[in-house]
Amino acid sequence: MQHRVALLEAGGNRSEGEDGLSADGGDPRFWLLAALRKRVETPGAVAFGGTVDLPDGRHYEWQWGEAVEQRLAADWSEAAAPLEALGHPVRLAILHSVLEGHSDIASLAALPQLGTRGQLYHHLKVLESGGWIQPQRRGVYGVPGERVVPLLTILAAATGG
């Protein structure tokens, strides 16, 4: 299921996405926004969540939300390291491979866009520092469960998902 969100701008002007749906809660396909509106006051809240079944059989259900005021008052500099860790195509390929179940050093070293094993370990260290990956056992890495849905959400948001 994929929807582009319609934006309601100040003054009532509406900017619609591809599917022409309104974000005013009148369309049942916006069930998430309707539920969020029932729980929060003005100026609103930001929330995301998901249910994910990975190819290796792991299952995650996760949600997060907070008031807009809290997010605007937060220290955004805390996001620099995790976002920077995602800012390289090889690191994204590593995360993709790990989520698909190819998480051992030999599989990761075989990625076509990767150079040397030294470069692999460098990228793994950056991803680990950013909180996106952690060693599961010797030579095997995994995305922490609490980071799976946020990672997929960030990727969807970055690509206009």
Contacts within 8 Å (CB) and 24+ apart, 51-54: 52/148, 52/149, 52/152, 54/99, 54/100, 54/101, 54/148
| Residue among 8, 50, 13, 45 at smallest CA distance from 27 | 8
d(CA 121, CA 157): 28
CATH number for the domain spanning 152: value is 1.10.10.10
Structure tokens at 1: 């299921």
Whether 104 and 46 share a structural domain? no
Residue 2 placed within a domain: no
pTM of the full predicted structure?
A: 0.80
pLDDT in tens for each of the 161 residues of the chain?
333 444 434 444 444 444 444 445 467 777 888 888 888 877 889 999 999 999 989 999 999 989 999 999 999 999 999 999 999 999 999 999 999 999 999 999 999 999 899 999 999 999 999 999 999 999 999 999 999 999 999 999 999 86
- What's the structural domain count of the chain? 2
